[in-house]
């Protein structure tokens, strides 16, 4: 699985990686090294993050699907009970 980033997003991530190295590693990293590091992260960690997100979404969707019956349930055979209630209110 290949995770593709738009050119704009890729450039922003590269700048962020360079800043991270400069501020936290007491070292600098060039564009090519940051780009290569980004490729590594996308290949190595990308699927992990993607799969976790898919799993989270599946869980949320399953919860919502289980709640559908409560949200849209209609009692059956209500004609006579509704009619009887209307006649009592008159």
Spans of all domains in the chain: 7-74
Whether residue 36 has pLDDT greater than 90:
yes
Q: Read off the pLDDT of residues 60-89 as tens digits, 9 standing for 90 and up.
A: 999 988 888 888 888 889 888 888 887 777
Residue predicted with more confidence, 34 or 82 = 34
* Distance from C-alpha of 48 to C-alpha of 57, rounded to nearest angstrom: 14
Contact 73, 49 (CB under 8 A): no
For residue 42, the model assigns a pLDDT of: 95
* Whether pTM exceeds 0.75: no
List all residues 6 or more positions away from 10 whose beta carbon is below 8 Å from its beta carbon: 35, 38
Angle 68-74-82 from CA coordinates, rounded to 5°: 160
């Amino acid at each position: 699985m290949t995770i593709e980033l738009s050119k704009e997003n890729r450039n922003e991530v590269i700048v962020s990686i360079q800043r991270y190295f400069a501020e936290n590693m007491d070292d600098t990293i060039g564009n090519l090294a940051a780009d290569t590091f980004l490729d590594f992260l996308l290949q190595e960690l990308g699927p992990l993050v993607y799969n976790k997100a898919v799993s989270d979404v599946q869980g949320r969707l399953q919860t919502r699907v289980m709640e559908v019956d409560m949200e849209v349930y209609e009692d059956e055979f209500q004609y006579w009970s509704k009619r009887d209630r209307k006649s009592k209110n008159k």
